[in-house]
Amino acid sequence: MATEERLDDSGNKIMGNDGTPRKFNTDEIVGYKYSVTILEGEHRKKSTRITVAGLDCPINNAEIMKRDSVKCRFTGLEPSMVGNPIYYKAEKIELVAPQAK
């Protein structure tokens, strides 16, 4: 979701407890979050959440639920919040075609 700063009835910015302008969520979608298990590469770990900015959504939840697993590839994957757990952000998500058995 996108965020915005708002004004009070007097026309002043609404401030948070830390003295910075408070951010309010809007109904505008600016990207998607995916809960994933990273299987390979330098960011390999059990599971995490990846945020992709942009409106391109190559698969919806209904389609994901129909499958045993969905493999995808992220472009520009990098940590967005380092801690425990680590969250990531990416520029783009692409589905990987299932291999024939």
> Under 8 Å CB-to-CB from 59, ≥6 apart: which residues?
70, 95
Rounded Cα distance between 81 and 35, Å, is 15
Terminal C-alpha separation, the chain:
40
- φ and ψ at 85, to 5 degrees? -85, 170
Rounded Cα distance between 2 and 24, Å, is 8
Span 60-90, pLDDT tens digits = 889 889 988 888 888 998 888 777 777 889 9
- φ and ψ at 35, to 5 degrees? -90, 120
Span 16-56, pLDDT tens digits = 999 999 988 887 777 888 888 878 877 777 788 888 988 88
